[in-house]
Amino acid sequence: MFIDVTLRRNPALIDASVNLHQSGRIPSNCYVVDLDTVSANAALVAQAAASYGLTPYQMTKQFGRNPIVARAVATAGIEKVVAVDFEEARLLAHHGLRIGHLGHLVQVPRNEVELALEMEPDFITVFGFDQAAHLSQAARQRGVVQDVMLRVVGPHDNFYPAQRGGVPIGESIEVASRMHALPGVRLRGVTSFPVVLWDESVGAFAPTHNLSTLSTVSDSLRAAGINVDVLNAPSACCAATFAMKAAAGATHVEPGSCLTGQTPLHALSDEPELPAMVYVSEVSHTTADAAYAIAGGLYPRCKSRTALVYSEAGAEPRVCQVELDPAEAIDYYGTLRTDNPRSVRVGSTVVYAFRAQAFVSRCFVAVVSNIMGTPTVEGVFTNNGFRLGPDLLPAANESVAL
């Protein structure tokens, strides 16, 4: 999906990845993150968000919740993170990242609420009154007041499978009024996901009905005397969508894929954010009709169409068609279609570029800096941000310092 634009706009990332793989410095089945380009993208996104009065929280799941990358993004201007589940919050807080938003998309487990409060997040999202009441009790015991957001749901809203939940719009005032009376919590705003989606028919981002629901509920709550001032508008966050969201009343955004230059828009037009991540593997074997790459990181919705196959570093690549297996298949191998696949050298480096979700893949993540000079591997990690040693097993006594 992004191989052509990466080859054109950040060829040094591909060259560095092939060299590092051929020399054995990074493993196969490995996402490679260009740390310097992510930092530059983050600075651009932070500036764009600020120009519209938006507060950004960085989303780290796409690049494997990587603490080095997250720290670079924070230094570049997006200082706090949103954790989609509590496992992510634990890891990033351990590495000193400041937490902006918990509980969305995945609610904080009941036995983790006290630890969540210790992290001092800006906001915790709740899906209903029961979650708010439990949070209230824990906050009172801790002697704090925690700002919360309410996830609200309209009858025509869009939700991905396995991501449903929230307060129906018709019940929002009643639930919010009960929450408003709770000690230890302060209702500050509303949220949903996704509020913007890619429209294939016109080749552009467009708001979903969720965004209208958020605006409607915000107005209704204020009319009822509940002074909410936050409208969190995640999904499709990048410099190109901030004006649309701000015009709808958004106050907070959660940029993720744009940090690696990999929203659907970035595949079609030259946006400010540059491509900063590729997936690297190797040809395992061939048959009469296909070559097969070691996989594990081929996210089922990646929509990858072509890959580059390098017999050796510096060689001209062979362009192969990517044949994606059904989502229910385990991606032991990636299928590559090409004329005369038997001529493809086993061990060749394969470079893909697609919109990744590394945290749900069986893969490695390598963080590389200085790709324009002498590339430096800052570390090889699991898909969930744990540093690996030279044996690619978990590093002992990993330091918090980065």
Encode pLDDT of 144-199 as tens digits. 999 999 999 999 999 999 999 999 999 999 999 999 999 999 999 999 999 999 99
pTM recorded for the entire structure: 0.96
- The pLDDT of 269-279, averaged and rounded, is 97
Rounded distance between C-alpha atoms, residue 70 and residue 32, angstroms: 15
Asked if pLDDT for residue 221 goes beyond 50, the answer is yes
Asked if pLDDT for residue 303 goes beyond 80, the answer is yes
Rounded distance between C-alpha atoms, residue 373 and residue 384, angstroms: 28
Q: For the segment 20-79, what is each residue's pLDDT rounded down to a tens digit? A: 999 999 999 999 999 999 999 999 999 999 999 999 999 999 999 999 999 999 999 999
| CB proximity list for 188: less than 8 A, separation 6 or greater | 123, 147, 148, 149, 228, 229, 230
User: Do residues 229 and 147 lie in contact, with contact meaning Cβ atoms separated by under 8 Å?
Assistant: no
Q: Which two tokens stand for residue 307?
A: 């890959």
User: Do residues 347 and 282 lie in contact, with contact meaning Cβ atoms separated by under 8 Å?
Assistant: yes
Rounded distance between C-alpha atoms, residue 216 and residue 165, angstroms: 18
pLDDT value of residue 19: 98
pLDDT value of residue 301: 82
Q: For the segment 339-383, what is each residue's pLDDT rounded down to a tens digit? A: 999 999 999 999 999 999 999 999 999 999 999 999 999 999 999
- The pLDDT of 107-123, averaged and rounded, is 98
The helix, strand and coil proportions of the chain, stated in percent and rounded to the nearest 5, come to: 30, 25, 45
CA-based Rg of the chain, rounded to a whole angstrom?
22
pLDDT value of residue 179: 97
pLDDT value of residue 390: 95
CA-to-CA dists, residue 304 to 53, 278, 341, 361, angstroms: 35, 11, 19, 15
User: Do residues 7 and 341 lie in contact, with contact meaning Cβ atoms separated by under 8 Å?
Assistant: no
Classified as helix, coil or strand, 274 is coil
Nearest alpha-carbon partner for 245 in 214, 284, 285: 214
Classified as helix, coil or strand, 43 is helix
| DSSP structure string for 152-182 | EE-TT----TT----EEGGGHHHHHHHHHT-
Classified as helix, coil or strand, 225 is coil
Q: What is the mean pLDDT of the chain?
A: 96
Considering only the top CATH level, what class is 3-33+272-382? mainly beta
Q: Where are the domains of the chain?
A: 3-33+272-382, 79-254
User: What is the CATH architecture assignment of 79-254?
Assistant: Alpha-Beta Barrel (3.20)
Which DSSP symbol is given to 295? -
Band of pLDDT at residue 401, cut at 50, 70 and 90 = very low
pLDDT value of residue 13: 98
Question: Which has more pLDDT, 33 or 201?
Answer: 33
Q: Which two tokens stand for residue 264?
A: 């659907």
Q: Which two tokens stand for residue 143?
A: 């002697």
Which DSSP symbol is given to 325? P
pLDDT value of residue 399: 52
